[in-house]
Amino acid sequence: MIACDARCVIPPQGEVSMVSIVILSDIRIYAEGLQHIFARQAAIDVLGAAADLARAQSLVGDQQPDVVLLDMTMPAPCELARLIVEASPESRIVALAVPFEEHDLLQCAHLGITGYILREASVEELVEAVVCAGEGKFYCPPKITACILNGLQAPREPAPPPATTPRQIQAAADDAPAPARLTRREQQIAALLEDGLSNKQIARQLNIEVSTVKNHVHNLLLKLEVDNRNQAASRLRTSRAADPDLSIGYPTPALYRN
């Protein structure tokens, strides 16, 4: 991580290079306050704000901002960050009110988040982080940098070998926590996800909107207690191998409901 020199971030008058930004926060007064703050900054152009997953995807996908300011107090912020990257790969994400916890910071780092703002940060630091990110640089306060580097350098226990024998596969399925029940639509999408279809391909096959598919995939990840589509597909395949009688490959038939 590289800490941007805050004193050099704001360009001098006459040399302003605009940074477009979208604000994601489900606290209205919070989002409106941020918009008012940025409205006074010559270097920042606020394109809009969103308070929920569907609106966030739509706004970021349509506007393709330089920077997305993501309120980390929103539900499932890391999953939202993944969807932002899918909707606008060139946008850089600044995490606002990020918890000072090693696990959370490492998760942000793995997601490619390039700006980190702690809860105790000032307005000046927030503006500096946004402009810095808009210039293609990292903004990472020293205490966060130290925490991330410490987590990356810490020794990790080796991952267990993949399950290959029927007994190992069954044991892996037995050890997996039981997920919440899936709706019938989620079952359909999960089956297509397991086959490796993209969101657009799933939408075409089921004749629904891509945004609807993304919402269902988001719910599937939560219910299966995994971090991404590949992990979800792997868990489904493991469950099917453990019990071939399951129609789609979930850990237990009780998972289904209408």
Residues 6+ apart with CB under 8 A from 132: 4, 6, 9, 115, 138, 139
Given a contact cutoff of 8 angstroms between Cβ atoms, the answer to whether 26 and 75 are in contact is yes
Assign domain 6-153 to its CATH superfamily: Response regulator (3.40.50.2300)
Q: How confident is the model at residue 10 (pLDDT cuts 50, 70, 90)?
A: very low
Two tokens, residue 48: 């809009």
Sheet with strand 92-96: strands edge to edge = 44-50, 19-24, 67-71, 92-96, 115-117
Asked whether the predicted pLDDT for residue 71 surpasses 80, the reply is yes
- Considering only residues 130 and 173, tell me which one the structure prediction assigns the higher pLDDT: 130
Asked whether the predicted pLDDT for residue 166 surpasses 60, the reply is no
Weakest-pLDDT range from 59-63, 72-76, 78-82, 149-153: 149-153
pLDDT of res. 251: 39
Given a contact cutoff of 8 angstroms between Cβ atoms, the answer to whether 220 and 186 are in contact is yes
pLDDT of res. 257: 35
pLDDT of res. 39: 93
Identify the helix (H) or strand (E) that includes residue 134.
Answer: helix 123-134
Residue type, 139: Y
pTM, two decimal places: 0.54
Asked whether the predicted pLDDT for residue 8 surpasses 70, the reply is no
Mean per-residue pLDDT of the chain? 76
Identify the helix (H) or strand (E) that includes residue 46.
Answer: strand 44-50
Q: Which residues of 91-110 are buried (b: 16+ CB within 10 A; e: fewer)?
A: bbbbbbbbeeeeebbbbbbe
CATH architecture of 166-255: Orthogonal Bundle (1.10)
Please report the DSSP string for 207-252 in residue order: T--HHHHHHHHHHHHHHHT-SSHHHHHHHHHHHHHH-TTSSS--S-
- Considering only residues 20 and 177, tell me which one the structure prediction assigns the higher pLDDT: 20
In which residue are the tokens 């910071």 written?
105
- Considering only residues 109 and 50, tell me which one the structure prediction assigns the higher pLDDT: 50
Count the neighbouring beta carbons within 10 Å of the beta carbon of residue 63.
17
pLDDT tens readout for residues 199-228: 888 888 888 888 788 878 887 888 777 777
Q: How confident is the model at residue 77 (pLDDT cuts 50, 70, 90)?
A: confident
Asked whether the predicted pLDDT for residue 112 surpasses 60, the reply is yes
Q: How is the chain split into domains, by residue range?
A: 6-153, 166-255
Asked whether the predicted pLDDT for residue 256 surpasses 80, the reply is no
pLDDT of res. 195: 79
Asked whether the predicted pLDDT for residue 34 surpasses 60, the reply is yes
Distance, in Å, from the CA atom of 240 to the CA atom of 94, rounded to the nearest integer, reads: 39
pLDDT of res. 252: 37
